[in-house]
Amino acid sequence: MYMLEVDHLKIWDRVTGRILVLDSSFRLRQGECLAIVGESGSGKSLSCRAVMRLNQSGLRQSGRIVLNGVNLSELPEKEMRKMRGRRICMIMQNGMRAFDPSRPVGAHLHETLAVHYQWSRGEMTDLLIQAMKSVGLKDPLTVMSRYPHELSGGMLQRVMIALAIVLAPDIIIADEPTTALDAITQFEVVEQFVQLRSRIGCSMIFVSHDLGVVNRIADEVLVMKDGEIVERGKTRDIFAGAQHPYTRYLVSSNLALNRHFMKLMGGDSVAEG
């Protein structure tokens, strides 16, 4: 039984006709984490946004996307809106852009919860406080009273994770959620993602350039190149013996980077485990 089934997803530019994602199919079981890796422009973000049905209007998509038995491709936009947030949450690379800059963070959180739940304001606040504390935000009320630009990137990502805990969606799509963070914060936020998954039992799609992170979090990996899936498999198999030359290149260049980093830090490489 699959939580998400994507069959023959194709995405193209309506004006030029250029094909951006070609015949992509993948499946995700409950509680499983699928990583999507690949070079810049290979179609990772477009594929994620296609599942949310949030690609720009200049793009077209075809194929079948089924979430928990519901065919999202055929859902009226009004119904699709109810799915977003409640059933599928997307956490983006840049926390700042996910929030309305003109309002305190708390206003945005309450508003999002109000779309999906009938809770009172007090109930929402209690749930948010609990979730925010659990992801290491020590003073939730102060955080909620701040404007997005007053918080660091790492804090905003934690706020997004806390919101996801309260929303408890079936699937979380995280599109490079740690690339805008420094190395230490990156590590901490990845750990929060790992815990999030075990806590709410959601499935996860995790896009990342960092194979060390992928190794830590993903059960399976999809490798994309020029809009196509060129390789897929269990994470440990991909690391142990990638078949496609492009994946081998990706693994070896990441390992080299990792070794260099670890030499500087005086530790062992994490991607080789």
Ligand X SMILES: Nc1ncnc2c1ncn2[C@@H]1O[C@H](COP(=O)(O)OP(=O)(O)OP(=O)(O)O)[C@@H](O)[C@H]1O
Q: Could you say whether residue 24 binds Mg ion (CB under 5 A)?
A: no
Residues 184-213 interacting with Mg ion (rule: CB under 5 A): none
Rounded least distance, CB 175 to Mg ion, Å: 6
Partner interacting with residue 197 (select from ligand X, Mg ion, none; CB below 5-8 Å by kind) = none
Closest of 69, 57, 97, 37 to residue 231, by C-alpha: 37
Q: How far apart are CA 61 and CA 158, in angstroms?
A: 32
Instruction: Indicate which single residue of 4, 9, 26, 43 sits in contact with ligand X (rule: CB under 6 A).
Output: 43
Cβ distance to Mg ion smaller for residue 45 or 235: 45
Tokens of 8: 């023959």
251 DSSP β-pair partners: none
Q: How far apart are CA 3 and CA 172, in angstroms?
A: 11
Residue span 45-74 as binding mask against ligand X, x where in contact by CB under 6 A, dash where not: xx---------x-xx---------------
Rounded least distance, CB 257 to ligand X, Å: 16
Q: How far apart are CA 225 and CA 39, in angstroms?
A: 7
Cβ distance to ligand X smaller for residue 43 or 106: 43
Q: How far apart are CA 247 and CA 37, in angstroms?
A: 9
Residues 39-68 interacting with Mg ion (rule: CB under 5 A): 45
Q: Could you say whether residue 13 binds ligand X (CB under 6 A)?
A: yes
3-state SS class at 139: coil
Do 47 and 232 meet the contact criterion of CB atoms below 8 Å apart? no
Count of positions on this chain that bind ligand X (CB under 6 A): 13
Residue that is written with structure tokens 């997005």 in the block: 148
Half-sphere exposure (Cβ direction) of 177: Cα atoms closer than 13 Å: 32
Rounded least distance, CB 58 to ligand X, Å: 5
Cβ distance to ligand X smaller for residue 48 or 151: 48
Among the listed ranges 41-49, 94-102, 106-114, 237-245, the one in contact with ligand X (CB under 6 A) is: 41-49
Q: How far apart are CA 238 and CA 224, in angstroms?
A: 13
Sites of contact with ligand X (CB under 6 A): 13, 20, 38, 40-46, 56, 58-59
